[in-house]
Amino acid sequence: MTYIPSQMERLQLDCVGRLEAEYYFNDIGVFVLRPRENDGFTQIQSRIDQLVGGLVKKNGKSGAAIYALMPTADATDLDAPGPRLDNAITFRCQELPVVNMGPNGTLKSCEEIAIRVLQVLHHFNPGKGNVLYAAPDVWTPSAAADPKVTIDIKLMQKSGLPYYQKCAPVTIAAAGLLVTLTCATPSSIIRYSIDDSYPTLTYTAPFTLPAAATVRAAAHTTDLQQSDLRELSVS
């Protein structure tokens, strides 16, 4: 089976791909700051530091790099079934001036690089109509990485997650302490519990509930999301 990146992964990858396709960044390292395969954050950050510090070169140049941080998101419509999101992705632009402005440097300042990132990605449409645009807090310098010059460029994107349909809720019927569970969704599997835990027991037939206990139940199929929980206390 072919691996298909999630929406948030795709946002990172498409933006980095768009920057790498721009000739301007031919000598500037562009990275995705997300662990992949055998690389963790530490290994990725090490490669970035080596390029910025002049220990390695890209097309004969070093001293500057860009990396896409993992996206964040805010929910903008709490009643949307999807839900709808305001995604945000930050690009950290860095240079070490003593290297970057030296004989093997890119001779492109961090500010110039950050402006070009913004110009390239503002109104970039990676597909499905989810256009990127400059966030209100688009430009944030930082002294945390001194002596590197660091500027964060933040872009946003409105998007939505598809609604994942749920099973119908379980109907809990009690005749005294005898409990019967049913679900209107065909071929659904019902899980239940009688000790206040999340339902994990598979329902096969009516059962007797201990006195003063609570039955909790939910249903699912291979194609549908598990239903919301239902519960009933029998005294």
User: Are domains 7-160 and 170-234 of this chain identical in fold?
Assistant: no
Q: Which two three-digit tokens encode residue 229?
A: 């929980």
Q: How many other C-beta atoms are found inside a 10 Å radius of the C-beta of residue 198?
A: 9
In angstroms, the CA 69 to CA 182 distance is: 46
Domain ranges in the chain? 7-160, 170-234
Q: What is the pLDDT of residue 79?
A: 79
Per-residue pLDDT in tens (0 to 9) along the chain, 235 residues: 666 678 888 899 999 999 999 999 999 999 998 876 667 778 888 999 999 999 999 999 999 999 999 999 998 777 777 788 899 999 999 999 999 999 999 999 999 999 999 999 999 998 777 899 999 999 999 988 889 999 999 999 998 777 778 899 999 999 989 999 999 999 999 999 999 999 999 999 999 998 889 999 999 998 898 999 999 987 7
Q: What is the pLDDT of residue 75?
A: 87
In angstroms, the CA 5 to CA 149 distance is: 32
Question: 174 forms bridges with which residues in the sheet?
Answer: 179
Q: How many other C-beta atoms are found inside a 10 Å radius of the C-beta of residue 123?
A: 11
In angstroms, the CA 216 to CA 235 distance is: 15
Name the architecture of domain 170-234. Answer: Sandwich (2.60)
CATH of region 7-160: 3.30.2000.10
- Smallest CA-to-CA distance from 219 within 170, 173, 150, 177 is with 170
